[in-house]
Each structure stands twice: as structure tokens, then as C-alpha cells.
Amino acid sequence: MANEPSDEIKAMSFEQALEALEKIVDDLERGDVPLDQSIKIYERGEALKTHCDRLLKAAEDKVEKIRLSRDGKPVGTEPLDGE
């Protein structure tokens, strides 16, 4: 899959990936990048975005979970580890 993060991207922290993604956006917005290079860096940007999304989701899952009432309706949140 073209936007599947490479091992290099998977090793990045959220902050590193976000910084690299911001640079790609800046480069593409300037419009002075050749078309073939634009396509390559756009694909890298998609992979960086996918990686950031996964890291954010994992962080959200660690922070809280939804508490459900007996009838299955959300009633609030609590820490994931139950503390």
C-alpha cells in the first residue's frame, strides 16, 4: 500500500512525524517542487499522516475508555487502567 509507513517512519515519534509532515506541506504549498518529486513527497506525507493517526489513536486509547450503563449507553469516561 502506497501510504503504509516505512520502517523509518514507524520509528519516528509523533513530534518527529508531524514536523516532517509540516515540512512536506510547506514544500508542496510553495509550488516550486518538480511534479515527479511532488508525487513522491505527497506519498510520504500520506504515510506520515497514517503514522500520526495511529499514534494519536493509541494515545487516546491509553488515556480513557468509555463507561457504559447496564443498557449499553455511554455514561462517562474513566482512565483506561482503572485508576
Say yes or no: domain 7-78 is CATH 1.10.287: yes
Amino acid in the structure at residue 81: D
Residues in the chain: 83
Q: Domain limits of the chain?
A: 7-78
Whose cell is 509540516? That residue is: 22
| pLDDT in the model for residue 7 | 92
CB distance 52 to 9 below 8 Å = no
pLDDT digits (tens, 9 = 90+) for 17-76: 999 999 999 999 998 889 999 999 999 999 999 999 999 998 887 666 666 677 777 776
Amino acid in the structure at residue 50: T
Whose cell is 500520506? That residue is: 46
Q: Considering the entire predicted model, what is its pTM?
A: 0.69
Contacts of 6 (CB under 8 A, 6+ apart): 47
- Which has the closest alpha carbon to 4: 51, 37, 41? 51
59: cell is 494515545
Q: 14 exposed, middle or buried (CB, 10 Å; 0-12, 13-18, 19+)?
A: middle
